[in-house]
Structure 1
Amino acid sequence: RNGKPSWYNTSNRTLVRFADDFVILTETKEDAANAKEITRRWLTKKGLTLSEEKTRITHLTEGFDFLGWNFRKYKTTTKRTGFITFIKPSDKSLRDIKKKIKIEMAKLKGASPESIIPKLQPIIRGWTNYHSGVVAKETFSKLQQYVNWKLVRWGKRKYGQKSWEWIKKKHYGKFCPGREDQYVFGSKDLYLEKAQWTKITRHTLVTHNFSPDNPNLKEYWEKREKAQAYKTAEGRLPKGKNKIALRQKYVCPYCGQTLGNYNQVHLHHIIPRSEGGQDKYNNLVYVHEDCHKTIHALGASNPQIQDKLFRGIKSSPKTRNKSQKVQNRMPKEKAR
């Protein structure tokens, strides 16, 4: 109409909906009240009601919560309008994740770090990944402070009269490769990743009217999915070790899938340390947790597996030399 696309918004209102949660944006308080009444009448016709407890009219300078985030305008001197809009994890969302961790830790009184870490890590990582597209660094630090406090209490209960220095020496250290953080809980083989290690990556909006069900847009959605997976994997990796994943193009060389498609990624020594393999760039590769288990179940010393991993990464001269040594150890097929 009038040369404008059919989706062009000519209204002063905007509706944003996810499942049964929605927000209506208007330009005035009076119009917001009208929109609320129109919505209430429409829902009544459908046999539904508008929750008065969850429904309110508010100005953006006061902010509102939606889908676990708080949307609010703040005063600033850097913008011509004098305001800037920030999206942050809501206070309720932070309280909920703390409660979840509290309940989990209550079940783990007296448990070992090997039992605690697999329980806490998915909870922390899942929550921080969800909020990694908004202004969340400060909130991540608050969450980590709470986790630290719960772990201190766990240590005091488990070891009774032992001093905090003794507990810290036993269960904390510089365990994460590439990070100088000496206050990491766990061990070199298994440690708890910190909430603030999650990288903030701004969300890329989907091009309007681009449906994933449209077969003509298959390439667009494949590229988008791969890019999102790369971002997820990149944000998950420790500082200084990202170049290893970059060499792999953020793809697991064992299964060929992107590292960002799974919750856990492990750093694997292609030549095992038990066989003299060193903790160096050319001998390290990132694989999915399940792939890591499979590799060790089949035998990390298996020449075919080692060669597959070497071939799955971009070889440097040193890597090619090691790969050639592996190939030399492989049994030759008999001619038929």
Structure 2
Amino acid sequence: MDAHIWKVQYKFLRRLHPKKNWHWISKRYFKPDKTGQSNNNWILTDPITNNQLKKVSWIPIKRHVLIKYDYSPFNKNLKDYFEKRDIKEFDRNNVAYRQKLAKKQKYICSLCSKSIADRAEGLEIHHKIPRIKGGSNEYKNLELVHISCHLEYHKVFPARADILNKSQLGSVKKYIKRKKIIGLI
């Protein structure tokens, strides 16, 4: 795969600079690896931002682990096994900032106290203090919640409303949990 990408890069750079020789092109676009993953001096590098194209061979292969033949997700004794599996899957399929938020919350939705790693529902990022009220995009002000929980929360307390105190927040969480148990959201 890397050989194919190299050919495509070569053709593209030749087409991009038709009047320049290969020595000039290679000096401008190819630099040594800055990440330390390789001793390769021919890594395509953006001359302005210095971002480098990663090689396919640098990406580790992660095998899919099959569920054991006598295990069932409906068996309550194996709940921990399937939660660990879901967490691994969540970490593999999400970007770093979502992983960091999920780990901070112990993979639990802060509004309904259910798992956010089970992929049963989409997730959104909720600002504890709304940005309109002076909240920031820092990790300490963010939490990962289910879409339905987020919609229900803002249905009861719009972002432009006053900031909630702890007792109001607790009552909203109980309200959302009750609706989720009943199946209304």
Q: TM-score, normalised by structure 2?
A: 0.48
**Which protein shows a greater Rg?**
1
Q: TM-score, normalised by structure 1?
A: 0.28
Q: Normalized per residue, which structure has more strand?
A: 1
The higher relative CO (CA closer than 8 Å, separation ≥ 6) is in 2
